Amino acid sequence: MARQYFGTDGIRGRVNQQPMTAETALRLAIAAARTFAPDGKGAVVIGRDTRNSGEMIEAALVAGLASMGLTPLLAGIVPTPAVAMTTRTTSACFGLMVSASHNKYEDNGIKLFSPEGLKFDDPTEEALEAAMAAAFDDSFAPPETIATPQRMVGVGDDYVRSCLATVSSGSKIKGMKVVLDCAHGAGFETAPEALLHCGADLTVIGAGPDGMNINAGYGSTDTGALKAAVLNCGADIGLALDGDADRVIVVDETGAEIDGDQVMALIARELHATGRLKGGGIVSTVMSNMGLDQYLQSVGLTLARTRVGDRYVGEHMRAHGFNFGGEPSGHIILSDVSTTGDGLLAGLHVLSVLAASGQKMSALARVFEPAPQELVNIRYSGPNPMDSARVKAALAEAEILMGARGRMVARKSGTEPLIRVMAEALEADLMKQALQLVVDAVKAEA
């Protein structure tokens, strides 16, 4: 079915335009209350990032939940994984995170979590969409059961303690020179707190949110400031979070950004060596490099691929007994600790491996030789170019051209009006030729 509200990761869009309006938030809160707490009893955790629209969206969610008799528990500005964790530990009916992740401040979004701290599957989201359409057509809580919101205290501290519990007591992070970029986002307090507790020689950037500077010139999608700071400070490593701190990008001591597949390979190798990797391999998406697959096979492990989106990675992990997975974009799930992508948790694991290795990050993170790969993002207006005959024909031609020596992935973004075209092949010339075929066709339809 065609979706009106939900994309790859919850609901997201330009604030005060469909689908990201206060009315949408109100409808969602009412629909979720009826769906997951039909008896009108229980509590719901709500967190948000630093966007200036966050309190507006939060207020609409509060109104909808309270009108249904549910108690809104306001966690304040906290990372997305903290909301997932708190939903689970408080036995809440469900959790809500107000964030548009890596998008700029003009956008906002809402992510949902089950009582177990898990993102909902597609059928559940489709049922919620149907319930949202009829949100104002049914009865509400009687006046005497309308709930009063409650402000939570210490959610960020509890989350930090949970992450720190995973760091080996013998870790040599103490004294390591680390630059941390908080993207002026939800992790601007929790992430520095955690790294300072570990004794890191810490330089923090992107930690002065003003409501409109989230992800602007900082964070996981704009690492220029982090790279410069690493070089200026002579740091051992740089870590960049995104706006809701559920992903991390790593920069080595030379200022070079490390591919997310290499980061996953590094963590997987450490987990496997210490007997902590479950499922016989890892889970990633169709966007992961062929080189990662070949490396894992060489050490007796497997790579399972899913659709793009950390919730699909998480679903496959749970269904097949894996405890580690992620995306090249930096969403990394360590499910023995966290139910969702967690930038701080993944960053701590990388720091621990680096500290124990005695190597430079630039050497440590070259776990495998990547196949030539390129990703092109094409913005469009109007109909989805992926539906056009021209693009479908170009994709078919590209697949024939590459055969078994390469892969092509072209998809509509679930968070922005973009078509993402990724090509990889064992030979760079073959990859570029196939990529150009599809990119030209998409641009012609965009």
Please report how many Cα atoms fall inside a 13 Å half-sphere around the Cα of residue 420, on the Cβ side.
13
Structure-token match 């987990």, residue found: 271
Q: Is the dihedral of CA 269, 201, 248, 61 positive or negative?
A: positive
Task: Supply the angle between the helices 155-164 and 80-89 in degrees, to the nearest 10.
Answer: 100
Write phi, then psi, for 222 (nearest 5 degrees).
-150, 80
CA-CA distance, 10 to 99, in Å (whole number)? 10
Give the three-state DSSP class for 59.
helix
Strands (E), 173-298: 177-181, 201-205, 237-241, 248-251, 257-258, 281-285
Helix (H) or strand (E) holding 311: helix 310-320
**Strand pairing category for 237-241 and 177-181:** parallel
Distance of CA 178 to the CA centre of its chain: 22
Strands (E), 330-445: 332-334, 373-379, 406-412, 418-425
What single letter denotes the amino acid at residue 441? A
CA-CA distance, 245 to 342, in Å (whole number)? 7
Cα angle 91-246-65, degrees, rounded to a multiple of 5: 40
Structure tokens at 321: 């007994």
- Pick the catalytic residue: 53, 101, 338, 352? 101
Is-contact 58 74, C-beta < 8 A?
A: yes
Structure tokens at 415: 């968070």
Respond yes or no: is residue 91 known to be catalytic.
no
CA-CA distance, 112 to 91, in Å (whole number)? 15
First to last CA, the chain: 23
CA-CA distance, 433 to 62, in Å (whole number)? 52
CA distances from 426 to 34, 291, 296, 301 (A): 52, 9, 17, 21
CA-CA distance, 207 to 222, in Å (whole number)? 15
What single letter denotes the amino acid at residue 155? V
Catalytic residues: 101
